[in-house]
Amino acid sequence: MIVALVILALIALAIYWLTRTSEATRSGGTSLRRTAASHINANGRPKRGYATMDEARDAAKKQSAATNQSMSAYKCGTCKLFHIGHA
């Protein structure tokens, strides 16, 4: 009985972890649902974390100009750093 309760608790914890959302104040039209996969960029590499929103915004502007794609900065609800992503 105790083993079954422990297993159910672990399953509930896993479901909670996978369905967490980040801060609702983010802008840019990106999904509020953040998972471990959100730390991977389009090339399959880990996203770079920026210490401040200003650093991330500057990087997003440079990336937008270099690729001709709209990029935005946001605060990650998982690692609490700032990332850039497609707007």
Element (H, E) at 54: helix 53-67
- Reduced to 3 states (helix: H, G, I; strand: E, B; else coil), residue 14 is helix
* Domain boundaries along the sequence of the chain: 47-87
- Of 81, 24, 18, 87, give the one whose Cα is nearest residue 47: 81
Q: Using DSSP bridges, classify how beta strands 82-86 and 71-75 pair: parallel, antiparallel or unpaired.
A: antiparallel
pLDDT tens-digit series, residues 34-66? 555 567 777 788 888 899 999 999 999 999 999
Is there a contact between 34 and 76 (Cβ–Cβ < 8 Å)?
Answer: yes
Average pLDDT over residues 18-28: 51
Q: What SS3 state is found at 21?
A: strand
pLDDT at 79: 84
